[in-house]
Amino acid sequence: MKSIDINECLENNRECDINATCTNTIGSYECHCKPGYIGNGIECYICHEDQYSFNETMCLSCPQNTTSLQGSSSIIDCKCDLFNHYLDNQTSTCFPCEHGFKVDEDSNTCQSNFSF
């Protein structure tokens, strides 16, 4: 006789925090906090301003001279406070864009001011 798996996420989704996603597994389910939140999936807590979530387990502070919004999910959400500077994620340092370039906030890189 073949057993049928019950999708516990549909049956019991209230077990997961409202800020978590439920993933059905064979015979069970898993809760994981959404990006920008930390916790065990049953309880999820938002990371504060100037922090970002890391591996769903902790909120880390943004590097020096950077800020982020509440609920940031990655270091790339930390933006430099200094005018026309970008965050180098390898060194966690803000660097200025060269003359003729400006920061593109979406890509966190310096882009040419010139139109071709």
| Domains of the chain with bracketed CATH | 1-45 (2.10.25.10)
- What is the mean predicted confidence (pLDDT) over 7-22? 82
Supply the pTM of this predicted model.
0.74
Total count of residues recorded for the chain: 116
What is the 3-state secondary structure of 57-100? CEEEECCCCEECCCCCCCHHHCEECCCCEEEECCCCEEEECCCC
- Whole-number Å distance between alpha carbons of 83 and 60: 24
Question: Hey, how many other C-beta atoms are within 10 angstroms of the C-beta on 92?
Answer: 14
pLDDT in tens, 21-68: 999 888 889 999 999 999 999 999 999 999 999 888 899 999 999 999
Q: How many CB atoms lie within 10 A of CB 33?
A: 24
Taking 70 as the threshold, does the pLDDT of residue 116 lie above it?
no
Which amino acid would we find at residue 1? M
